[in-house]
Amino acid sequence: MALRNIVPKLMLPSIRLSSAAAIPKLVTSSVPGPKSQQMKEKLGTIQNTEAVNFFVDYEKSQGNYIVDVDGNRILDAFTQISSIPIGYNHPALIEAVQSKSAVTASVNRPALGMFPPADFIDSVDDAFLSIAPKGFSHVQQMACGTCAVENALKCAFFKYRNDERGGSEPVEVDMTSCMNNEAPGSPSLAAMSFKSGFHGRTLGSLSLTRTKPIHKVDVPAFDWPCVDFPILKYPLEENVADNEKIEKECLAKVEETFHKWKSSKPIAALIVEPIQAEGGDNHASPHFFQGLQKICKEHNCAFIIDEVQTGGGPTGQMWAHETWNLPTPPDFVTFSKKMHIAGFYYQKSFEPKQGYRVFNTWVGDPLRLSLLKTTVQVIKRDSLLDLAKKSGNILMDGLNHLQASKPNMISRLRGMGTFIAFDLPSEELRGKLINDMLQKGVLIGGCGKTAIRLRPSLIFDKNECEIFLSTLEKCL
């Protein structure tokens, strides 16, 4: 039974940990401080630590504040690459992991595809189905965002081949040829993605990812097509005609690509992010996405919306694509990050009949599912989607003001909820700003070539917005 939009009866511990007054930011050493640097050196003797920023004291971190091992308390507007939904050490989550079922799930991690626990159906209902995007009643949990993308893709290919066979299951020749990686069992099919799109780093998903060469170089790739994503001009209201033209051209390219690949390697799946996140926070209009869906339908191609980064509330919606008013739901919606656990919603027609076709040892983690269940309850109880909208408005107002006063520094301000970005004049200045902000106690991230991105938790409120804006003003 789906429990969509039911406010939970459970008594959840309250939050008021995010208040800047209660927890002032406090940076006493440079970040990374001496302890962090020592630890990084030590870990560097065992593994590559090039990406390590600083070491964290997760016990002391609270609400919107991350505390490093040197005792620096930093306002976190990046939240572990956008993946802490309701702040550090939220009391409701701490209580949830101490429940008997959570303790049992963590010490007896089940192979969920084969031996699910008795409370699994209720958890799926309460966690996944209560917030399912409109038009979805099926969901498959997975371990990480990349894994979700890969398996949604596989389901798209299964269905395409099934349709080609007139609805029949794989036959003997499919079964024998696939063991040699040959057609028809291993068919010549393609998946289309967009320039600057990011969909993960494992072998299949990496062929869809088109952000940075360093992610892809030296790895064999599928020969799959990639088309331009619209790069809109800002401010939007002053560039309506140009932006319409840009989107129209991109749609025409998508259509052309379908035709070009049709005879040699038909495109069975198209994957797109509602806002291209890693690639630079590139937005497009609902009209563009409606157009994409229409083209996909015409070519019997699965329409996969990758909400790994946009999903779970930061845009002020649980799912960003729900603002597009699509005439019918998409075929898949992938998720991870703020959801604690990864997976994908899918239309029933894409579900393979046999077991073990979408499978791995753990297929997710019931412990993470219980964290999602509690998080969903907190989001509803504390109206955190509304808070993301309100805080987003405060941030956009302040940033608009800064953009007007420093047009040589800030440009192309864009956002939805607190999912906000703006460009700096160069990569060097972007790096310098991120570091200056950190030294003043505010953690932010970069994306694309020169953009700053904000990815705070859903409890980022007025106080935090003000601290962020005043620190930014000083640094600029």
User: Within 406-460, where are the H helices?
Assistant: 427-439
Piece in contact with ligand PLP (CB under 6 A), picked from 144-152, 355-363, 414-422, 463-471: 144-152
Q: Please tell me what DSSP assigns to residue 37.
A: H
Nearer to ligand PLP, 261 or 288 (CB): 288
Q: CA-to-CA distance for 405 and 11, rounded, in angstroms?
A: 47
Tell me the C-alpha distance between 158 and 330, whole Å: 17
Residues pairing with 334 in the sheet: 306, 344
In the bound state with ligand PLP, the residue whose beta carbon lies nearer, of 305 and 410, is 305
Assess 280 for contact with ligand PLP (CB under 6 A): no
Task: Point out which span in 143-151, 221-229, 291-299, 400-408 binds ligand PLP (CB under 6 A).
Answer: 143-151
- # of chain residues touching ligand PLP (CB under 6 A): 15
Among 73, 90, 199, 455, binds ligand PLP (CB under 6 A): 199
306 binds ligand PLP (CB under 6 A): yes
Instruction: For residue 149, give both structure tokens.
Output: 């993308």
Q: Per CB under 6 A, does 198 bind ligand PLP?
A: yes
Which H or E element spans position 253?
A: helix 240-261
Residues of span 327-346 touching ligand PLP by CB under 6 A = 336, 342
Nearer Cβ to ligand PLP (277/424):
277
Determine, following the binding rule CB under 6 A, whether residue 309 of this chain makes contact with ligand PLP.
yes
CB of 3 to ligand PLP, least distance (A): 26
Span from 273-281, 290-298, 377-385, 466-474 in contact with ligand PLP (CB under 6 A): 273-281
Report helix, strand and coil shares of the chain as percent, to nearest 5.
Answer: 40, 15, 45
Residue 434, interface with ligand PLP (CB under 6 A)? Answer: no
Which residue in the shown chain puts its C-beta closest to ligand PLP? 145
Taking alpha carbons only, the member of 194, 460, 425 closest to residue 313 is 460
Strand pairing partners for 67? 73
Q: Which of 157, 410, 131 is nearest to 268 (CA)?
A: 157
Which window, 3-11, 42-50, 55-63, 192-200, contacts ligand PLP (CB under 6 A)? 192-200
200 binds ligand PLP (CB under 6 A): yes
Residue 261 sits in the site that holds ligand PLP (CB under 6 A): no
- State how beta strands 411-416 and 267-272 pair: unpaired
Owner of token pair 């080609």? 164
Does 278 bind ligand PLP (CB under 6 A)? Our answer is yes
Among 27, 144, 416, 437, interactor with ligand PLP by CB under 6 A = 144
352: its two tokens:
């393979």
Q: Which residues pair with residue 453 across a beta bridge?
A: 421, 445
Q: For ligand PLP, give the closer residue by CB, 312 or 366.
A: 312
The catalytic residue positions are: 198, 306, 337, 361
Return the structure tokens found at 158: 């299964």
Q: Shortest distance, CB of residue 105 to ligand PLP, whole angstroms?
A: 21
Q: 248-251 — which CB contacts under 8 Å span 24+ positions? A: 250/288, 251/288, 251/291, 251/292, 251/295
Q: What would you report as the CA-atom Rg of the chain, rounded to the nearest whole angstrom?
A: 23
CB neighbour list of residue 323: distance below 8 Å, 6 or more residues apart: 286, 315, 317, 416
Q: Which of 33, 63, 133, 145 binds ligand PLP (CB under 6 A)?
A: 145
Candidates 161-169, 302-310, 408-416, 424-432: pick the segment binding ligand PLP (CB under 6 A). Answer: 302-310
CB atoms within 10 A of CB 201: 14
Please, what is the minimum distance in Å from the beta carbon of residue 34 to ligand PLP? 31
Question: By CB under 6 A, is residue 146 in contact with ligand PLP?
Answer: yes
Exposed / middle / buried, residue 476 (Cβ in 10 Å: 0-12, 13-18, 19+)? middle
Least CB distance to ligand PLP at residue 390 (A): 25
Residues that bind ligand PLP (CB under 6 A): 144-146, 149, 198-200, 273, 277-278, 306, 308-309, 336, 342
